Amino acid sequence: MARVICAGHVNWDVTLRVDRFPAADGEATITDQHQSGGGSASNVACALTALDVETALLGSVGTDENGHLARRELSAAGVDCSSLVTAEGETAVKYLVVDADGEVVVLGNDGANESFDAADLSEEALEAASHLHLTSQEPDTAARLAERATEAGLRVSFDPGRRIHARDYSATIALADVLFLNEREAATAIEEHLGAIEDLARVVAIKHGGDGAEVLTPEGNYVSHDGFPVDTVDTTGAGDAFAAGFIAALLDDRSPPDYERALAVANACGALAACEPGARADISWDCIEAVLEER
């Protein structure tokens, strides 16, 4: 059974590389395009599997060809898809527009990616795992999964993503042991709805993009890492790769936890992801160690 369960969105991504983002009523040239699986939960699941972590995915796809392709790609990557629900309707499709600097604009529909609920995760799967990673999804589903995982003694991590501004995830955040945020999310939504980050009394990893990341520990200590300079190709999925690296490093169960190493590994994974097009990068421990040694 899986050691980590990832829950959240499973999408089919259409990536369009353009020479620039056009202004209103403007036009840009498409320089490249490709299609592949995406969605934060499935991105993290694939990265964890590549890092030799047994991983299962809880999410939902539609009955269309995109759903079949997404499931087949995940299974080929070694992800346990026994909890992946097939729902009536279309699989969520995201159109990722990437400019020459690797910055991304996302257009999409939700499709069937929130058609699953907490009851779709069996007790057997939950009891066999040691970590539950939650991503942007329906708030009640996320909260119920966090409750079940906490009761079963699992560590819970949560990356709410950009929807934190529009959804009330306070119940899930209150149960999370590890919270992943970017600068914008940390500076606005969390402080507006939950008070100061320093008062959350949990591990908070704040991503600064190309400038690295920092971690606030439950004891109120800060650990920071400057990241790794890379020639950015596409930032899609870099945050998901970061989360996967951090989780994989924490699974060592060192006491006390080595947040410094976890942050370095996470930044290395994010850097590797930013060097490749698409949401799924070629990540391995050999690649990570090479990045760490080069630094």
Domains of the chain: which residue ranges? 4-22+30-294
* CATH of 4-22+30-294 given 3.40.1190.20, 3.40.50.300, 3.30.2320.50, 3.40.30.10: 3.40.1190.20
pLDDT > 50? residue 1: no
Interhelix angle 40-50/238-250, nearest 10 degrees: 50
Read off the pLDDT of each residue in 109-120 and give the average, rounded to a whole number: 92
Q: What is the pLDDT of residues 11-36, one digit of tens each?
A: 999 989 999 999 999 999 999 898 98
pLDDT at 168: 87
pLDDT at 40: 94
Mean pLDDT of the chain: 89
129 residue type, one letter: A
Entry field: residues in the chain: 295
- Catalytically active residues are 240
Tokens of 29: 């040239």
- What is the reported pTM? 0.91
Least reliable range by pLDDT among 149-153, 173-177, 251-255: 251-255
Closest CA to 235 of 267, 193, 275, 195: 275
